């Protein structure tokens, strides 16, 4: 059994949350640049220029890209051949606590649905744990903003609604969201499993590499078609109209009950802040 | 492009047309959901709502020697109903992001106010247009407290004007 140093986990989470909030992923920046080149309207070009200039200011000044520095989401994969001396969840939360303080990031978590009192250190992180083979642990860490999360949804379709039903649901959801989730967006979709599994699949889809495609041909085609059709909706940057509404569509799927076709749509704003670390 | 200085007059409001870029200078106030819930119940708030500008923002904490942290707009639709009593008291401009309800638009036109948007997610860029910030109400709300900001050429676009035009439907 390999012993994992929890202090190291805390440090990695701390560094990661600061880093992702200051430095936008360059593959994402290059997609935004291409989107800007495609735009025709001055207003849409101006908004994409702001977004590009913003990430330069944030990188050079080492300041947050966005005031909504998000809720920390961690996909934690734990090898069955590792042990921890202590509480891995607390180690992650300590990293969040230190990172949000030292990085001057905004604390956006409140304790209770109705009293809305801030937890003042952005904990707790939302942590999804999975067991894997081997003697390593992997943390996929995101700072997820509230505006785009609010436009996300889970719908239980019936199997007969099929691909067309999924497409209609996704297009309707993105169109109705308009400028609220800060387009151009990335759309993470989970199909199958059950009610809660579909939502986790959609979240996991948002962590995928921007340039990859589903290994399943039908799903890959659906990703490509939805990408084209979402961009034909004309929502455009920040909802003011334009050629680019989404930068990528990622679909993850899982087996499901014969009676069900669960679909979750998790919307990600243009400031997609996440990273992966293996220990 | 049009430059405006606070406080905002009725003739300023009449001059604003959808899609136009506005560079705003002067004093503006921050407020989000929780601050609105409290502010609409105040009989004598410490600033004059008549002619004022509210920016829907909850900044990141400011570093030493910086006037403010990242300060981009939050989604405006959450403040649709809460904005009405403030517009009735003379609130003239609201800055946020995203579309709003039909009821809001009707009330906005009735009260001779205008809705502006700034670029969502551009918090680092927009904070460079803010010269100073001062906490004036509801310290316990943290990032959601009301701050008085001094801005210089703060860039926005007219999203809804008083002539019934809508930037999201153009």
β-pairing, B53-55 with B93-96?
Answer: parallel
Which residues from chain B sit within 8 angstroms of residue A43, using beta carbons? 19, 157, 167
For residue B46, what are its two tokens? 């410490």
> Distances from the Cα of A206 to the Cαs of A166, A190, A227, B132, in angstroms?
18, 10, 14, 37
Residue B71 · residue B123 · CB < 8 Å: yes
The end-to-end CA distance of chain B, in Å, is 18
How does B67-93 read in b/e, with b if 16+ C-beta sit within 10 Å? bbbbbbbbbbbbbbebbbebbeebbbb
- The tens digit of pLDDT for each residue in A181-237 reads 999 999 999 999 999 999 999 999 999 999 999 999 999 999 999 999 999 999 999
Residue A109 · residue B133 · CB < 8 Å: no
Q: What is the pLDDT of residue B164?
A: 97
Give the single-character DSSP code of B19.
T
Is A58's Cβ below 8 Å from some Cβ in B? yes
Task: Indicate the pTM of the whole model.
Answer: 0.95
Average pLDDT (A92-107) is: 98
pLDDT confidence tier of residue B33, bands split at 50, 70 and 90: very high
Neighbours of A77 (CB within 10 A): 17
Average pLDDT (A41-61) is: 97
Neighbours of A181 (CB within 10 A): 31
> Distances from the Cα of A193 to the Cαs of A202, A204, A264, B145, in angstroms?
11, 13, 10, 42
Who among A64, A178, A240 is closest to B124 (CB)?
Answer: A64
ipTM comes to: 0.94
Whole-number average pLDDT of chain A = 97
Question: Which residues are within 8 A (CB) of A182 and not within 5 positions of it... i.e. 6 or more apart?
Answer: A145, A147, A148, A238, A269, A270, A271, B97, B120, B121
Which residues from chain A sit within 8 angstroms of residue B70, using beta carbons? 58, 63-67, 69, 106
For residue A268, what are its two tokens? 């990600």
Average pLDDT (A146-154) is: 97
- Taking an 8 Å cut-off on Cβ atoms, the answer to whether A51 and B98 are in contact is no
- Taking an 8 Å cut-off on Cβ atoms, the answer to whether A178 and B97 are in contact is no
Average pLDDT (A231-251) is: 98
Asked whether the predicted pLDDT for residue A150 surpasses 90, the reply is yes
> Distances from the Cα of B121 to the Cαs of A113, A147, B125, B146, in angstroms?
25, 10, 9, 20
Which residues from chain B sit within 8 angstroms of residue A105, using beta carbons? 60-61
Torsion from C-alpha of B100, B101, B103, B108, nearest 10 degrees: 10
Average pLDDT (A271-278) is: 98
CA distance A84 to chain B (A): 34
pLDDT confidence tier of residue B170, bands split at 50, 70 and 90: low
CA distance A201 to chain B (A): 25
pLDDT confidence tier of residue A177, bands split at 50, 70 and 90: very high
How large a percentage of chain A has pLDDT more than 70? Answer: 100
Question: Which residues are within 8 A (CB) of B7 and not within 5 positions of it... i.e. 6 or more apart?
Answer: B26, B48, B50, B51, B52, B92
Average pLDDT (A121-146) is: 98
Is B136's Cβ below 8 Å from some Cβ in A? no
- The tens digit of pLDDT for each residue in B7-18 reads 999 999 999 999
- The tens digit of pLDDT for each residue in B78-134 reads 999 999 999 999 999 999 999 999 999 999 999 999 999 999 999 999 999 999 999
Neighbours of A107 (CB within 10 A): 21
Residue A152 · residue A213 · CB < 8 Å: no
Residue A221 · residue A166 · CB < 8 Å: no
Q: What is the pLDDT of residue B124?
A: 97
Question: Which residues are within 8 A (CB) of A134 and not within 5 positions of it... i.e. 6 or more apart?
Answer: A79, A80, A81
Residue B30 · residue B57 · CB < 8 Å: yes
């Amino acid at each position: 059994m390999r012993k994992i140093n929890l202090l190291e986990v805390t440090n990695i989470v701390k560094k990661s949350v600061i880093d992702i909030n200051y430095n936008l992923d360059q593959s994402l920046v290059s997609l935004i640049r291409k989107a800007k080149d495609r735009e025709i309207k001055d207003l849409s070009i101006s908004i994409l220029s702001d977004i590009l200039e913003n990430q330069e200011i944030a990188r050079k000044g080492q300041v947050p890209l966005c005031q909504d520095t998000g809720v920390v989401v961690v996909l934690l994969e734990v090898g069955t051949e590792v042990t921890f001396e202590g509480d891995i969840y607390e180690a992650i939360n300590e990293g969040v606590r230190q990172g949000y303080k030292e990085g001057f990031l905004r604390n956006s978590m409140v304790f209770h649905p109705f009293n809305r009192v801030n937890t003042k250190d952005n904990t707790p992180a939302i942590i999804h744990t999975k067991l894997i083979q081997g003697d390593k642990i992997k943390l996929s860490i995101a700072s997820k903003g509230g505006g785009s999360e609010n436009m996300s949804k889970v719908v239980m379709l019936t199997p007969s609604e099929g691909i067309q039903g999924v497409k209609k649901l996704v297009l309707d959801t993105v169109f109705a969201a308009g400028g609220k989730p800060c387009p151009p967006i990335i759309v993470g979709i989970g199909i199958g499993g059950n009610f809660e599994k579909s939502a986790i699949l959609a979240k996991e889809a948002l962590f995928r590499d921007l340039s990859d495609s589903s290994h399943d041909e039908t799903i890959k085609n659906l990703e490509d078609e939805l990408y084209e059709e979402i961009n034909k909706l004309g929502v455009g940057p920040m909802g003011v109209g334009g050629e680019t509404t989404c930068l990528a569509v990622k679909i993850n799927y899982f087996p499901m009950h014969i009676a069900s076709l669960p679909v979750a749509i998790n919307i990600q704003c243009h400031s997609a802040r996440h990273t992966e670390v293996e220990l | 492009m049009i430059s405006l200085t606070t406080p905002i007059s009725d003739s300023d409001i009449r001059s604003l047309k959808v899609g136009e870029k506005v560079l705003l200078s002067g004093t503006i106030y921050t407020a989000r959901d929780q601050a609105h819930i409290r502010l609409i119940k105040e009989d004598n708030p410490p600033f004059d709502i008549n002619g004022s500008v509210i920016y829907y923002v909850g900044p990141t904490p400011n570093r030493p020697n910086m006037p403010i942290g990242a300060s981009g707009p939050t989604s405006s639709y959450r403040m649709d109903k809460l904005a009405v009593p403030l517009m009735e008291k003379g609130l003239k401009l609201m800055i946020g992001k995203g579309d709003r309800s039909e009821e809001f638009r009707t009330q906005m036109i009735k009260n001779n106010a205008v809705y502006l948007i700034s670029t969502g997610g551009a918090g680092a860029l927009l904070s460079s247009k803010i010269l100073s910030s001062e906490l004036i109400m509801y310290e316990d709300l943290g990032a959601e407290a009301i701050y008085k900001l001094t801005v210089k050429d703060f860039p926005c676009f007219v999203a809804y004007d008083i002539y019934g035009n809508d930037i999201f439907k153009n």
